[in-house]
């Protein structure tokens, strides 16, 4: 496998309970790329992210993540190399957990504080990451008391804690109000523009949430790729209409996309 390839999927199928959740997927992500995955509910976006995070296996086909063949490798080791922000993980975080501990425990791939003391270096890194994500004044707060936007930013800081080679973000803007969404898009733009940031894959339902600086897009419908490639070639009215099964008109300005139904 080429060393610049972070994800390489060849003819990947995922079948669960007799249902095809992903079909014949071919997809490649390189080191310096920032991808967005778009598609309607049930299209297979989370299924694909779970595969890339080493949390499940394809039914057939070949999937390599960071040079490791999924299904033939120690997934526990791979998981520390992949930062994964998902609401499924958020739901497992005890409400009484301190924000700083939510981030620092990523070092051991656990949630819930399980050691009495941490390495000073880890605490410093967690605190710095929280500051970068606008959570500097809330490190001693209980996670359960945070707003949705604050939780999302804490989850991303946690995902970055292990200095991952691949960052996976599953719907980070879901549930945010307009201000919260715009704040997050600005922060993700900054991350996308950082040459030292890891390869990133962001799942969303809305083209409005594509941060400037994201380079590539994959459109999924019913588990199959409708289009894949450079973001400006993929996010078009025709492709979006086919993906969402309705006639949509895409516009672009100030580095941002918008979509409305065409009448």
Ligand X SMILES: Nc1ncnc2c1ncn2[C@@H]1O[C@H](COP(=O)(O)OP(=O)(O)OP(=O)(O)O)[C@@H](O)[C@H]1O
Closest CB 49 distance from ligand X, rounded Å:
8
- Residue 98 C-beta: closest distance to ligand X, Å: 29
Question: Which listed residue (25, 38, 47, 139) binds ligand X by CB under 6 A?
Answer: 47
- Residue 258: other Cβ atoms inside 10 A: 12
Closer residue to ligand X, CB minimum distance, 104 or 217: 217
Instruction: Select the span of 11-19, 129-137, 233-241, 254-262 touching ligand X (CB under 6 A).
Output: 11-19
Tokens of 90: 């958020």
- Residue 142 contacts residue 97 (beta carbons within 8 Å): yes
The only residue of 21, 51, 159, 234 in contact with ligand X, by rule CB under 6 A: 21
Instruction: By CB under 6 A, tell whether 245 contacts ligand X.
Output: no
| CB within 8 Å of 113: residues ≥ 6 apart | 97, 98, 101, 105
Give me the least distance between CB of 118 and ligand X, in Å please: 34
**Closer Cβ to ligand X, 161 or 218, answer by number:** 218
- Closest distance to ligand X from the beta carbon of 45 (Å): 4
Percent helix, strand and coil across the chain, each to the nearest 5: 35, 30, 35
Only segment of 16-24, 59-67, 81-89, 127-135 that touches ligand X (CB under 6 A): 16-24
Pairing assessment for the beta strands 199-204 and 34-38 based on DSSP bridges: parallel
Query: Smallest distance, Å, CB 27 to ligand X?
Result: 14
- Give the x-and-dash track for 27-46 against ligand X (CB under 6 A): ------------x-xxxxxx
The most distant pair of C-alpha atoms in the chain lies apart, rounded to whole Å, by 61
Task: Please report whether residue 61 would count as binding ligand X according to CB under 6 A.
Answer: no
**Least distance in angstroms from the C-beta of 215 to ligand X:** 21
In the bound state with ligand X, the residue whose beta carbon lies nearer, of 83 and 223, is 223
Minimum CB distance to ligand X smaller for 47 or for 105: 47
- Token digits of residue 60: 């057939």
Q: Please say which residue, 28 or 47, places its beta carbon nearer to ligand X.
A: 47
Is residue 168 within 8 A of residue 49, CB to CB? The reply is yes
DSSP 142: B
- Nearer to ligand X among residue 15 and residue 98 (C-beta): 15
Report the residue number, 21 or 240, with the smaller CB distance to ligand X: 21
Residues 150/103, Cβ–Cβ less than 8 Å: no
Is 16 one of the binding residues for ligand X (CB under 6 A)?
Answer: yes
Please, where are the H alpha helices in 19-119? Answer: 45-52, 75-79, 87-90, 99-104
Q: Measured at the alpha carbon of residue 81, what is the angle toward residues 122 and 41, in degrees to the nearest 5?
A: 110
Cα 90 to Cα 9, 112, 154, 211, 234: the distances in Å are: 27, 11, 10, 23, 31
Q: What does the binding site for ligand X look like in residue numbers (CB under 6 A)?
A: 16-17, 19, 21, 39, 41-47
């Amino acid at each position: 496998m080429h060393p610049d390839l972070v994800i390489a999927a060849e003819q990947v199928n995922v079948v669960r309970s007799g249902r095809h959740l992903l079909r014949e997927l071919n997809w490649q992500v390189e080191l310096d790329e920032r991808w967005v995955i778009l598609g309607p509910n049930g299209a297979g976006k989370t299924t694909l992210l779970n595969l890339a995070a080493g949390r499940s296996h394809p039914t057939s086909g070949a999937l390599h993540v960071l040079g490791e063949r999924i299904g033939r490798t120690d997934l526990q080791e791979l998981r520390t190399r992949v930062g994964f922000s998902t609401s499924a993980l958020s739901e497992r975080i005890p409400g009484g957990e301190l924000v700083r501990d939510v981030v620092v425990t990523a070092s051991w791939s656990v949630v819930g504080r399980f050691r009495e003391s941490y390495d000073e270096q880890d605490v410093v890194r967690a605190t710095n990451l929280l500051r970068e994500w606008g959570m500097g004044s809330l490190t001693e707060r209980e996670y359960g008391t945070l707003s949705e936007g604050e939780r999302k930013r804490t989850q991303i800081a946690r995902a970055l804690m292990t200095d991952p080679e691949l960052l996976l973000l599953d719907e980070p803007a879901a549930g945010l109000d307009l201000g919260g969404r715009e704040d997050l898009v600005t922060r993700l733009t900054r991350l996308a523009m950082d040459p030292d940031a890891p390869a990133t894959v962001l799942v969303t339902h809305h083209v409005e949430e594509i941060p400037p600086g994201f380079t590539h897009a994959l459109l999924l419908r019913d588990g199959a790729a409708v289009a894949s490639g450079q973001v400006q070639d993929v996010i078009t009215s025709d492709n979006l209409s086919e993906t969402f099964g309705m006639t949509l008109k895409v516009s672009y300005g100030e580095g941002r996309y918008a979509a409305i139904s065409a009448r």
